Structure formats: C-alpha cells, structure tokens
Amino acid sequence: RIVAMNSMSVRNQTTTTAPATSAAGSGADMIFTFAAPSEVFYNQSKNVKQIDVPSMSGNMGILAHHVPILGVLKPGVVAVIENDGTTKRYFVSSGSIAVHQDSSVQLLAEEAILVENLDTKAAQDTLSDSQRKLQSAKDEREKAEAQIEIECAEAAIKASQ
C-alpha cells in the first residue's frame, strides 16, 4: 500500500484552487456523502463547504467544483467544514475518496469515529501490542500487517490528543 510519491503534485493542507472543470454544474454545491459500513455521517449533504482528507498522496483539501479525483485514504483525521463554519473532525482508519464530475463526493471509510470519542489509552495499548507483534512477526505478510496496525494506532493517538 506504499505509494511512491513521485512528481505528481502533492496537495497540502491549504486549499487547492483547482480549476473548475467546464462540465461543472451551474454553481452546484458539493454533494457530500461520508459513510462507514455501519454508520452514516453525511448522506448527499449539500451543507458542506470543504473537507480535508488524509490520502496516500498527501493531505488534500476539497471544495465544490474540485477536479474529479479518486484516492485512497491512510489513517488520519478528516475535517469536515460545514457551510455555517462548524468543523467536525473524524478519525478514519482507511478507505477511499471519489470526486466526480457532477461535484458529488463520496468519502467511504472502513472505520470512522469522531475524535472526541477516541480513547487514547486504548490506542496506546494497541500500539504496544502491534509493536510486539512486529517483533515476533515470522514472514513478510505478518510484518506488513503489524506495520499497518502500528501506523493506524499512532495516527489514532495523535488524533486523540
């Protein structure tokens, strides 16, 4: 899952003013869907101004009329900024992001939780468990699995603080 960061433009935290594609609707806002397999956070919501997502190719800020993209998420925090300015922060473990030509955005997370509900202690316990697993890993596959766990637990700890 390690994507080589090449000369492809790395979008950083500040908003990207991507050129509005000619196919964009007449001033249509972003239609935002954010869901996990067991919970829905936003369903075709028109109330969202901007989202910041931690993708494999770096942190991205997405507004309405963003250029269509497909991306894969890495463990981190998704910030959703609604039209009235309120920001909600969710920790996501992994997933995918898709922005289509009609300004519809689908953020599908495997697991997502509000950062307020993160338990730092549990995350730290998981981190030490997975570090131990890495030590005792027997083959490449177990090593990779342990490393993924570590990455996720570290991001969770960071997000909860």
- Residue from the set 15, 59, 106, 124 that interacts with another protein by CB under 8 A: 106
Of residues 29 and 124, the one with the C-beta less far from another protein: 29
Binders in 122-161 for another protein, by CB under 8 A: none
| H-helix or E-strand spanning residue 98 | strand 95-99
Q: What b/e string do you get for 70-99 counting C-beta neighbours within 10 Å, with b at 16 or more?
A: ebebbbbbbbbbbeeeeebebbbbbbebeb
User: Is the Cβ of residue 104 or residue 124 nearer to another protein in the bound state?
Assistant: 104
For the bound state, the minimum distance from the C-beta of residue 161 to another protein, rounded and expressed in Å, comes to 27
Interaction between residue 96 and another protein (CB under 8 A): yes
Q: Find the binding residues for another protein in span 69-88 (CB under 8 A).
A: 69-72
N-terminal to C-terminal alpha carbon distance within the chain: 26
- Chain residues 11-70 in contact with another protein, contact rule CB under 8 A: 18, 21, 33, 35-40, 43-44, 56-57, 67-70
Pick from 37, 23, 16: nearest CA to 112? 37
For another protein, how many residues bind (rule: CB under 8 A)? 36
